[in-house]
Amino acid sequence: MATSVIETIPAHLKPFVPSPIPTTVQTYGTSIWGWITTTDHKKIGALYLFTALFFFLVGGIEAEIIRAQLGGPNRHLVSAETYNQIFTMHGTTMIFLAIMPLSAAFFNFIIPLQIGARDVAFPRLNAFSYWIYLLGGLFISIPILFGHGPNAGWFGYAPLTTKAYSPGINIDFWVVGLQILGISSLAAGFNFITTIINLRAPGMSLMRMPVFTWMAFIVQFMIVLAFPVVTIALFFLLLDRFFGTQFYEVASGGDPLLWQHLFWIFGHPEVYILVLPAFGLVSEVLPTFSKKPLFGYPVMIYSGILIGFLGFGVWAHHMFAVGMGPIADSVFGVTTMLIAIPTGVKIFNWIGTIAQGQFKATSASLFAIGLVSLFTIGGISGVMHSSPPADLQQTDSYFVVAHFHYVLFGGSIMGIFAGIYFYFPKMFGRMMDEKLGKTHFWLTFIAMNLTFFPMHFSGMLGMPRRIYTYDAGQGWEAFNQTSTWGAYLLFVASLFFMYNFFKSLRSGRPAGPNPWGAGTLEWTIPSPPPPYNFAVLPNVTSRYPLWEGKQADIESARINQQSGRSAEELGIVLPYNTIKPFLAAFFLVLMFSGLIVGHWLIFASAAAMVLAFYGWLTSPLEPEHH
Amino acid sequence: MIGYNRLRRFAPLGVAAVLALALAACAQSYPNSTFTPHSDLGRSIDFLWNRLMFFGTIVFVLVEGALIYVVIRYRRKSEDVTPPQTHGHVILEITWTLIPAAILAFIAVPTVRTIFETQAPAPANSLVINVYGHQWWWEFEYPEYKFTTANEIYIPKGRTVDLVLHAKDVIHSFWVPQLAGKRDAIPNHTNHIWFTPDSNMATTVWNGFCTEYCGDSHGEMHFRVVTVTPEQFASWVTRQQAPGFFGPPAAPPPTAIASASAAGAATTKSDSAAPAAASTAAPAAAPVAPVYGPTASPALLASYVLPHSEVPEYAIPHTPLPDAIKFDDKLTGDPAAGEKLFVGAGTCNACHSVSGNPLAVGTIGPNLTHVGSRITIAAGMYLNDKAHLSRWIKDARIMKSGVLMPTLGKGQYDPQTKATMPAGLSDQQIADLVAYLQALK
C-alpha cells in the first residue's frame, strides 16, 4: 500500500507518512436540516453525486423503454407521442441532469482539495447552484409522468417548438426548465473560475495544477461562454411562446436557422463540457495506477485548451444537411477535422503514461482504459462525420447515435465511473468492493458495445434517428435486436454498481488518506476530509507533492493527514450554514413556474426571492476573524 | 519495436474484416444500404466513405493495439517496483501531432473537392422536382410537366434530377439512402440536392425517409422513389398530367370507345355525375388529354405505372392495422357514389385536389388525382388497399398520431379532441369513397 510515497519521502519523515488507516470513518451527518443549509463544498459535491446518479437512473429507464420499443419492427409498446417525450427526456436528462451534474459533483468535491483550498470561492453561491439544479431538474422531469413531457428533442429545433406547432405545455416546461438549469451552470462556472484563480495554495502555479482541475478550469470557461448563447436562444423562444413575439415564427418570416446556429454555438462546446471533465479524471487515474506522472503534462493542458477553443468554431458541423453552401461546409468540415488532432494527442499521451509504468487493473483504471478505447471509436466516427458530403449519409441516422454514445457513454460515463471508483474512498472514507467493481466494468464494457456498435450498421443501412418504430424487412431487425439485448445487459451492469455503491457506503473497508498511493494534494488529507480540508495550507513545490515533493510538501502532508482535530481547535474559520441559498433557489424556480401557472405567481415569488437574496447578501458568510 | 511490427501484421486483417462486413452489408437483405449507391452523388459520397473507413480502420487498429499492448506489457507484477518517472517526450509529441494532421489532409482535400462538385448548380437539362415537406407527408410537384403528386415520385434513369426542397410547416429532411445523402427542407428556405440515377440499374422502388425530427409521426414520414426508363417515365407523365378518371376500365379499344363511355355512364347510376357524363365523348377526340370523368382513353389507361407485382417486398408497408377501428370489409363500394361523397358529405375536397374536378381543389392534404396507382397511403405507412384505406378514412387519427386528416367515421373516437364523432360517414359511405379513390388510377 502506497509504496511510492514511502520511497520518495526523506528518511526522517518516514515514521509519519503514511499514517495508520483509521478503524472508524467520519460521516457528513444525517441531519436533513444540515444538508439543506450546508455550504461545505464536500457535502454539496455529495448532493450533486446522489442527485445526478438518481437522474442517471431515470435517463437509463427512459433508454430501456426506447430500446424495448425498437427491439423489433412495428412495436407499439408506447405510442408515438409517448416515445417522443421519452427520447426527448432521455437526451435532456442525460446531458443536463446526469452527466453535467456528475461532473459538477467532482468539481465541487475535488477542485478545492486538489488546489489546497478550504472551500470554493463562494460557498453560498455553490449551494444555490445545487438547489437550482435539483429544483430545475424536477421541474423539467416531472411533467412526463403526467403525459406532458417535453417532446421536441433535446435540441428543440424551431419552428417545431413554437406555439404554432407545439401548442401544448410540453415545450413550456422544456424552455423554462432549461433556462432555470442554465442559471445553475453559470453560477457554478463563475464560482469555480474564481476558486481556481484565487484560492490555489502557495506554490501551486498553473503548470503545477492537477490535470483534472485544469480540465475543469477549461470547462468553466466554456460554460460561461456557451451558456449565455443558449440562454438567449431560449429567451427568444420563451418570449415567442409566452409573450407573442415572432423570433422563430415562420409565418411572420422568422428564420428557423437562427435557432440552429444559436443552439449549436452552445451545443457543440457542450459536448466538450461533457467530456473534458472525464478526460481530467482519467488523467488522474492512469498515472496513479501506472505509478508514473502523466505523460506530456504540458501537451495535455495545451491540447485541452485547444479543444476548448476549437470547440467554439465547429458548431455548424451539426448542420451539414441544412444547405449552408460549399464555403461554410468546407470551413466547418476542416475545423472539425482539426479538433481530432488535440484529441488524438490526448489518447496517445494516456497510452504513453501507461507505457513503461506499472499498470494495475482496478475498477477505476479499467474504466479509464474503457474511456481511452471507446472514445477512440467515437473519435474515429467523429472524423467520418467531419467530411460534409459523407455526413449527408450519416447525419440524423443511427450512425450518429452510435457515434455520440461512444463519445458520451464511452467517454464521459466511463470516465465518470473511473472517477467514482477512484474518489469514492476520498469522498466517503470507505473502499468500494473491487470484485463487484470489476464485474460492473466488464459487464458495462461488453453491454455498451453490444448496444451501440450495431447502431453504426443500422444507421449506414438507412435507419433514421428519432423514429418511434420502423417497418419490417428494412434490414434493421438484427442490429436493433442486438442493441436492445445490450441495453438490457447494461441495466443489469448498473445494478452491480448500485449495490456496490450503497453497500460500500455503509460497510466498505476504511480507506485512509491515500489508499491508491496517488501523488496529488487531495490524498494528503484524511478521508473523508475534515470540514476545513487542510489543517495547514500546503506549500506546493511540484505537480505530484506526494511523489516528487520537496521538504515543504512533505511537511504539510504530514500534518494534514492527521485527523481528529476540529476547526475551532485549529483556529480555522468556516462559513455558517444557511438556508438562504435554498430559499433564493426555491423562489427563483417558483417565479419561473409562474410563466405556466399564472403571472401572479411570478410577482409573488419574485418578491420572496428578492427578500431571500437581501437576507443572503446582508448576512456575513462566516464569523469574523480573530 | 516488437509491438509495432506485431501491430503492422494485424492491420491488414482488420481492414479485411471491415471490408467483409461492408460486403455483407451489400447483400439484398439491406434495401436501404448507403454502401450500394445507385447515383453519381451516392458514389462520390461512397468514395469519401471508403477513404474515411480505410484511415479509420488503420487508426483504430493501431491505437487499440497499442493500448492493449501497453496494458499487458506494463502490467504490475510486483508492488515494490517503482517505474522510471518519465514526464514526456518532445519528439514523440511532435510525431503524434503531425501524423494525424497528415492523415486529415488526405481526407480534407477530396472532401473539399467533393463539396464544391456536388453543390455546384445542377445541369441545365435537369428534371426539376419541387419537394414540399408537410407534417407528415411529402408533396411533389413537377413544374416542367405541370402536375403534383404525393409521397411517390418516378424519376427517369440517367437524367439528372434536381430536387428543390421546401417545407410548409416545420423542418423536414429528404433522404433516399441508396440514391443520395440528406438535404433539409426548411420553411422560408429553398434547398437543392441533385444527382443522376444510374442508367443501368433496374426499374425498381427505393425507400425514402424524413430524417429531421418533425413531431408526432416523424417515424412514419416515408416516401417511395421509382426509378424507371425514360420511356416509362414519359408514359407515366402523360397519366399524371391527365385529369382523374375513376370508372371501370373501358371495353377493348379502339372499336368500343363509345360503349366504354356508355359503361362509364352506366356505373354512375344517376345524374349526380353530370360533369363526368358530359365528358364521355371527349376521349375519342383527344386521347391523351381527357377531361375529368369516369373513364379515360385507352391510351391513357395503357400508360405506365409500376405494376404492384413488381414492387419489391421492402417497399410494401407492414404496419399492422389498429384493432380499435372496426370496418365491415365485405361491403362493396360504388365509385360514382364515392365521387359524390368526396365533394359532398365527406368534405374531402376541403383539403384534397382531384385534377379535373372543379369542386376538388383543396391543397392542405395530398393531391389525390391518381391516388389509386400509388403503392402506399399515409406517407408510406400503410399499403394502399381497401382494408387500410377504409380504416384510414374512418379514423385517420388513430391510424397515425397527430395527423390533420379528421376522424370521419360516425361514432368514431377522435384521439386529438378526445371526443366521439356524433355525425359522420357510415361504413357503406366509406366503402363508396374507397371505391372512388381506388379507381383514381
Domain residue limits, chain B? 2-76+87-118, 127-228, 243-372+383-441
Q: Please, which residues have CB within 8 angstroms of residue A163's CB and are 6 or more apart in sequence?
A: A240, A241
Question: Which cell numbers hold the place of A40?
Answer: 461545505
A46 Cβ partners below 8 Å, 6+ apart? Answer: A28, A105, A109, A427, A428
Residues of chain A in contact with residue B82, where contact means CB-CB under 8 angstroms, are: 3-4, 7, 291, 358
Q: In the prediction, which pLDDT does B24 show?
A: 54
pLDDT value of position B379 = 96
CATH 2.60.40.420 for domain B127-228: yes
Residues of A in contact with B214 (CB under 8 A): 160
Q: How many CB atoms lie within 10 A of CB A9?
A: 21
- Domains of chain A by start residue, with CATH: 3-577 (1.20.210.10)
How far apart, in whole angstroms, are the C-alpha atoms of residue B46 and residue A488?
34
Share of chain A above pLDDT 90, in %: 89
In total, the C-beta contacts within 8 angstroms joining chain A to chain B are 308
pLDDT at B289: 47
Indicate whether A387 pLDDT > 50.
Answer: yes
pLDDT of residue A553: 82
Q: Tell me the pLDDT of chain A averaged across its residues.
A: 94
* Closest Cβ opposite residue A250 in set B87, B108, B188: B188
Query: B48 and A457: CB-CB below 8 Å?
Result: no
pLDDT value of position A15: 40
Closest by CA to B315, choosing from B380, B389, B269, B379, is: B380
Taking the CA of residue B78 and the nearest CA in chain A, the distance in Å comes to 8
| Predicted pLDDT of residue A1 | 38
pLDDT for A297 beyond 70: yes
The mean pLDDT of A225-232, rounded to a whole number, is 97
Contacts of B309 (CB under 8 A, 6+ apart): none
β-bridge partners, B150: B139
Nearest chain A alpha carbon to B400: A80
B chain contacts of residue A160, beta-carbon cutoff 8 Å: 170-171, 213-215
Selection from B168, B141, B162, B144 nearest residue B152 by Cα = B141
Per-residue pLDDT, B402: 95
Torsion B110-B113-B115-B117 (CA) sign: negative
- In the predicted model, residues of chain B with pLDDT beneath 70 are 1-28, 248-291
Class of CATH domain B2-76+87-118: mainly alpha
Looking at the complex, does the CB of residue B200 fall below 8 Å from at least one CB of chain A?
no
Q: What is the pLDDT of residue B19?
A: 58
The answer for A110, left when phi > 0, alpha when psi is -120 to 50, beta otherwise, is alpha
The H-or-E segment that residue B226 falls in is: strand B222-228
Nearest CA-CA partner of A300 in A203, A416, A366, A207: A207
**Alpha-carbon gap, residue A193 to A200, rounded angstroms:** 11
Query: What value does the CA radius of gyration of chain B take, rounded to a whole number of Å?
Result: 29
Interface confidence, given as ipTM, is 0.93
Q: Please give the single-letter amino acid code of residue A417.
A: F
Interface residue of B90, B93, B132, B163 to substitute, partner A, most A CBs within 10 Å? B93
Judge whether residue A259 has pLDDT over 90.
yes
Q: Give the tens place of pLDDT for each residue, A523-563.
A: 999 999 999 999 999 989 999 998 988 887 888 888 888 76
Q: How far is CA B59 from CA A252, A348, B5, B31, B65, in A?
A: 50, 11, 15, 30, 10
Distances (CA, A) of B268 to B108, B238, B300: 66, 25, 20
Closest approach of chain A CAs to the CA of B232, in angstroms? 27
**B89/A352 touch (CB, cutoff 8 Å), yes or no:** yes
Written as one string, the DSSP assignment of B316-379 is: S--PPPPTT----TT----HHHHHHHHHTTT-GGGT-B-TT-TT-B--SS---TTGGG-SEETT
Any residues with CB less than 8 A from the CB of B293 and at least 6 apart, and which?
B243, B245, B246, B247, B264, B275, B276, B277, B279, B280, B282, B356
Q: According to the model, what pLDDT value does residue A560 have?
A: 87
Q: Is B188 exposed, middle or buried (0-12, 13-18, 19+ CB in 10 A)?
A: middle
Query: Which of A146-150, A180-184, A243-247, B263-267 is predicted with the least confidence, judged by mean pLDDT?
Result: B263-267
Q: List the strands of the sheet with B137-142, edge to edge.
A: B147-150, B137-142, B127-134, B161-167, B191-195
A129: cell is 447552484
- Which CATH architecture best describes the domain B243-372+383-441? Orthogonal Bundle (1.10)
- Distance CA(B225)–CA(B207), nearest Å, equals 6
Is residue A154 a contact partner of residue A610, using CB atoms and an 8 Å limit? no
Which residues 311-340 on chain B approach chain A with CB closer than 8 angstroms?
313-314, 316-320
Question: Residue A159 has what pLDDT?
Answer: 95
How many angstroms separate the CA atoms of B161 and A575, rounded? 71
- For residue B195, the surrounding DSSP H or E stretch is strand B191-195
pLDDT at A370: 98
Residue A469 with chain B: CB contacts under 8 Å = 219-220
Q: With 60 as the cut, is the pLDDT of residue A7 above it?
A: no
Task: Judge whether residue A405 has pLDDT over 60.
Answer: yes
